[in-house]
């Protein structure tokens, strides 16, 4: 693994809504890399886009396929933003995730119906 991946971001907080969405409790997530949510069908280009934004301390908004603790697929609209301290040093990231599974599945159904019409 690249050194960046070994030193990458770690989970330090997750609210109840995220615990419910992912199936993990904060105690199971604390100190772990967010890559534990990614799996077989998570697109490599999505992971690369996130990795590149983190390397440059840039904000990113992306929809990505994640996996719950029981390996169920779910889509999230992910917004990651860097935070600075009072002297302008980047110190951490804030990630806001919204479950996009229902919207994504509805969109796929509409697209499939349009193809059949």
- pLDDT(1) > 80: no
The closest of 27, 33, 75 to 51, measured between CA atoms, is: 33
- In Å, what is the CA distance from 96 to each residue of 2, 49, 56, 81, 113? 26, 16, 19, 9, 32
Name the average pLDDT for the chain. 90
On whether the CB atoms of residues 91 and 85 are closer than 8 A, the answer is yes
Ranges assigned E (strand) in 1-117: 60-67, 73-84, 90-99
The pTM assigned to this predicted structure is 0.81
Q: Specify the pLDDT at position 7.
A: 62
Q: If pLDDT is split at 50, 70 and 90, which confidence band does 6 have?
A: low
**Higher-scoring residue by pLDDT: 71, 117:** 71
SS3 content of the chain, % helix, strand, coil (to 5): 40, 25, 35
Least confident window among 66-70, 78-82, 101-105: 101-105
Per-residue pLDDT reduced to its tens digit, 22-74: 999 999 999 999 999 999 999 999 999 999 999 999 999 999 999 999 999 99
pLDDT, position 18: 92
């Amino acid at each position: 693994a690249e050194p960046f991946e070994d030193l990458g971001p770690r989970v330090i907080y997750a609210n109840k809504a995220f615990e419910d969405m992912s199936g993990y409790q904060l105690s199971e997530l604390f100190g772990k890399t967010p890559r534990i949510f990614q799996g077989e069908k998570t697109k490599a280009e999505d992971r690369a886009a996130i990795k590149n934004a983190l390397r440059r301390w840039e904000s990113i908004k992306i929809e990505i396929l994640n996996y719950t603790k029981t390996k169920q697929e779910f889509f999230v609209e992910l917004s990651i933003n860097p935070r600075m301290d009072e002297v302008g040093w980047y110190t951490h990231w804030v990630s806001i995730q919204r479950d996009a599974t229902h919207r994504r599945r509805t969109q796929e159904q509409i697209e499939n119906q349009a193809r059949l019409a």
